[in-house]
Structure 1
Amino acid sequence: MKGPCKTPGGNQEQEKAAAAVSGRPAGVAEAKEDSSTDSDSDLETTRVAHGLGEMVKDTHYLGSCWARGGVLPSCFLRQQSSLELNLRHRGLGPQGAQALASALTSNPHVRRLDLRDNGLCGADVEVLARALSKNSSICDVDLSENLLGPVGAQALCASLMVNQVVQKVQLAGNHLEKQAAQHLAELLLSHTSLKSLDLSYNQLSDQAGEILGPALAENTGLTQLNISWNHLRGPGAIAFAKGLEANIFLKVLDISYNGLGDSGASAVGDALKANNVLEELNMSNNRISAAGALSLGLGLRVNQTLRILVVSRNPMQSEGCFAVLKSVQDNPVSAIELLDFSNIQVNREFDDLASSMKVILPALCIKTAAHRVEYKKKLLPGSDPK
């Protein structure tokens, strides 16, 4: 099916179109009648019957598309029996959402649904959410770069609380603000099967942090959370860090590009003292100075599980990098494998400490800003060295 769907002249045209898209002869129905008169084998009869069943699904989808004036691309029919349905960048809009929702209700094949960048607003997501609540096969949903807003967030979270098969949800870049935080918090409190949640590139703000923090503390199941680029700062950052302190399931957390500041870094340091589950933490570009790095290091002195720490693009200077590295050195049970200080210039004192630690922990990887090397110009024999 290429281009917009057109209204058919009757059921016969629907069946012909469906057969053409699915790659089956238009006369497959007649083939079934001939097979009975020709006494074909049972295997052939079963094959034809299966083909008829697939045609019914295709015809149902085409009819839904025509009825709603939808613009769902033909790739839907090519993928509807696949594990992944990729419809990103297709501009589905309201009509496409309606047609897709109708088809998803009875589709038992799709495991991953990718609808990134389709111009879907809150009302469109409401329609899709109702379909998701009835679908027991989809476990991975990507709705990034759409326009969910609070209406779409509420509808989606409500459907996921009804159907807890979904384990991974991506909602990056959806203009989600503090109004959506309450619905997300309810999802974290009730959905025990959700393992991965991406909320990056939204505008949740510090007030959302105060709402999501307590929910994170009580969540039982989430192992990966990306909340980068969300203006999480001040009291909200501290409340969120307290939630991390009490959480016993989260292993990967990205809170980069938020503006936690020194107070947020100190709260995360306190969380690391108690949290012995987290393994990867990204805190890059959060306005953390040397004082904040020193507070963060207090948690690193006792933490036993953190393997990867990224604090790049922070104004902590060499003094702050040294404090973090020294805290790892002072922790005999530290699990740190990677320390990322990229885009932070360090001095010789830091280099000396890093070199000594490489002797003790040869597997430890330490990333820093590229050192500027001054090259001496080679002079030709007899030239003036001035």
Structure 2
Amino acid sequence: MVISKKQLKESALPSVQEVREAELEQESSQSGIHQLGGIASRPRKAFSRGSTDTKTVSRSDKAHSPTERASAGPKEEAEEDSPAEQEGEDPQGARTRESSEEEATNQEEEWDTDLEIDDAKQPRYSTVKTLYEEACKIFAVVPASYFLRHMHDQELNLMHHGLGPQGAKALSVPLVTNTSVLNLNLSDNWLEGGGGVAIAEMLKENCYITGIDLSDNKLGLAGAQAISAMLKENVTLVNINLCGNEFDDHAATPLAEAFMSNHKVQSIDLSHNLMGEGAGEVLGNAIAENTGMKELNLSWNCFREMGSIPIAKGLGANIFLRAVDLSYNGFGKTGAAALGEALKVNNVLEHLNVSNNRIPPEGAVRFAMGLKENKTLKTLNFSRNPMQSAGCYGIIKSMQGNPESAIEFLDFSDITVNKDFDDLHTSVKEMFPHLKVIHGGNTDEFRKTKAKHSPTQLSGPLYKLKQHMKENSLNLVDFFERVDKDKSAVVTRREFEQGLVGAGIPLSKGELQQLMDTLDKEKNGEIDLREEFEKSLGNNTALRYLLAPRF
């Protein structure tokens, strides 16, 4: 409870008040000074109670306020003699004294104090919540309950919430002053251009968010322009994901301008957009000028061969990028050659992905010429390119000619190699023991495996039996039925031999004997036709179908 100075004065203990009055009367009698206007004055001692200096302070002789004196009846005022009346003071002087006391009291009441408490302050959480709910009413959207529960988390994940443009506008209002969220994920919310503009305006004011994911929101040209303007002012964003936003060559122009002026963002994802050859030209210049980016993802665009050349030149001039993803862009032979030239002069790039770029063997060999001089690249992904074993051979050959190569991982997934590549790989492995290479397998091994399970193993009597049946359109089941006259599916060796000869199957006596020895496993003179033939044919589905009984 806070007590005002007026109340404190009026509630002083009687003993203290009496001491003050006695002190006043004593000083008045000693000084012999006439009290003007009925107000006693004395020099205030330094460091006395409530004093801060040696100024002369006026004091009243009574603790009663003018309000109390006015409320007292005329009779009581007559009975109570004031100091002014005792010393013969006139009524005008008494009124002057009362006026001075009232003015002093009013001044005391107006004094400020550090003890005063502002009861109007409300909790911060309640303020932000109210702000968001009011914004939702204005933009006619339903508040996101997840945001209300996690508005003070460092990681705020609102992906797949269907916010839309209006929801983004409402959300940006409390985020302007939010100091808790450091990473904001708004992926797949169909924000479109309007929502992108609202979020960009919010990021101009918010200086706490360092990472934002705006992927798959169809921001388009309007969103790209708003983000570009934001990046020119924002100095706190470090990571920004803009993939899947339908950015085309027109949208690439403002983004490139932002990349040249912003040197704080370290990771940018522009994959899965619609940027083509024109975008490659402007982005290539931006890449060359940027001095802050360390990771850049341009995969799944449409740069093709002509757009790949300026991008490769930009990489050659950049001295800060550490990881670049250029996969699924159709660079072809020309783009591969341009990247090879960039690797000759780039001495900082460590991770490069050029998978699925339609690079033929010639392009891979020209790329390898640059790789032969590079000393910083650690991982190279060349998977799913039609460069065959010759292209893989050229790339790994470049390592053999570059003892200072830093490559630790080569990815040739889905590309088959031959024995020459395997032999070279073994040799290079001795130079670089930590090198790891993955590929689509060895074609020579495939041939061996195929030969191992080919029908040449059945080139004996059983294979000849099958070929004769195929050439003459004979059914094995019908043949078995003619041989197995008692329908028991078990025949003697002699019955089986007679059946083969009667069917006109071209087998010599030795081959007949070999075939029957193969089928008569138990050597009891009887052959279980279906069981033995299934065991001999193994997993041959076609022959199993022929041997299956018909219903």
TM-score (norm 1): 0.84
Structure 2 residue aligned with 1:281, among 349, 352, 363? Answer: 352
Q: What does residue 113 of structure 1 align with?
A: 184
Q: What does residue 259 of structure 2 align with?
A: 188
Q: What does residue 179 of structure 1 align with?
A: 250
SS in 2 for 1:162: coil
Q: Deviation digits for residues 92-136 of structure 1, max 9, x if unmatched?
A: 012211110101111011111101000111121111111110000
Residue identity in the other structure for 2:439? T
Q: 1:357 and 2:428 equivalent? A: yes
Change (3 A) 1:328 1:49: farther
Distance 1:53 1:211 in 2: 46
Q: 1:374 and 2:374 equivalent? A: no
Distance 1:159 1:311 in 2: 36
SS in 2 for 1:146: coil
Q: What does residue 33 of structure 1 align with?
A: none
Q: What does residue 106 of structure 2 align with?
A: none
Displacement after TM superposition at 1:188 (Å): 1.1
Find the structure with the greater CA-based Rg. 2
Distance 1:147 1:319 in 2: 42
Distance 1:160 1:136 in 2: 12
- Is the 1:71–1:95 contact (alpha carbons within 8 Å) kept by the matching residues of 2? no
Residue identity in the other structure for 1:246? A
SS in 2 for 1:197: strand
Q: What does residue 383 of structure 1 align with?
A: 518
Q: What does residue 68 of structure 1 align with?
A: 139
Q: Deviation digits for residues 25-63 of structure 1, max 9, x if unmatched?
A: xxxxxxxxxxxxxxxxxxxx9xx9997222122122222
- Is the 2:340–2:371 contact (alpha carbons within 8 Å) kept by the matching residues of 1? yes
Displacement after TM superposition at 1:349 (Å): 0.3
Change (3 A) 1:53 1:264: same
Residue identity in the other structure for 1:84? E
- Is the 1:72–1:92 contact (alpha carbons within 8 Å) kept by the matching residues of 2? no
Q: What does residue 272 of structure 1 align with?
A: 343
Displacement after TM superposition at 1:160 (Å): 1.7
Gaps of 5+ in 2: 1-116, 459-515, 520-535, 538-551
Displacement after TM superposition at 1:358 (Å): 1.8
Q: What does residue 236 of structure 1 align with?
A: 307
Aligned-pair identity in percent equals 47
SS in 2 for 1:225: strand
Displacement after TM superposition at 1:206 (Å): 1.2
Q: What does residue 83 of structure 1 align with?
A: 154
Residue identity in the other structure for 1:158? A
Q: What does residue 404 of structure 2 align with?
A: 333
Q: 1:146 and 2:281 equivalent? A: no
Distance 1:169 1:273 in 2: 30
1:286-325 aligned at under 5 Å gives the runs: 286-325=357-396
Distance 1:383 1:61 in 2: 84
Distance 2:330 2:517 in 1: 58
| Mean Cα deviation higher: 62-71 or 320-329 | 62-71
SS in 2 for 1:383: helix
Distance 1:88 1:271 in 2: 38
Distance 2:311 2:166 in 1: 39
Change (3 A) 1:322 1:96: same
Displacement after TM superposition at 1:291 (Å): 0.5
Distance 1:195 1:101 in 2: 24
- Is the 2:399–2:428 contact (alpha carbons within 8 Å) kept by the matching residues of 1? no
Distance 1:252 1:285 in 2: 17
Q: What does residue 262 of structure 1 align with?
A: 333
Residue identity in the other structure for 1:121? E
SS in 1 for 2:236: coil
- How many residues of Structure 1 are paired with residues of Structure 2 in the alignment? 340
Change (3 A) 1:54 1:327: same
Q: What does residue 170 of structure 1 align with?
A: 241
1:24-63 aligned at under 5 Å gives the runs: 52-63=123-134
Supply the RMSD in Å over aligned alpha carbons. 2.2
- Is the 2:133–2:143 contact (alpha carbons within 8 Å) kept by the matching residues of 1? no
Distance 2:350 2:518 in 1: 59
The answer to which structure, 1 or 2, has the higher relative contact order (CA under 8 A, 6+ apart) is 1
Distance 1:325 1:370 in 2: 16
Displacement after TM superposition at 1:282 (Å): 0.2
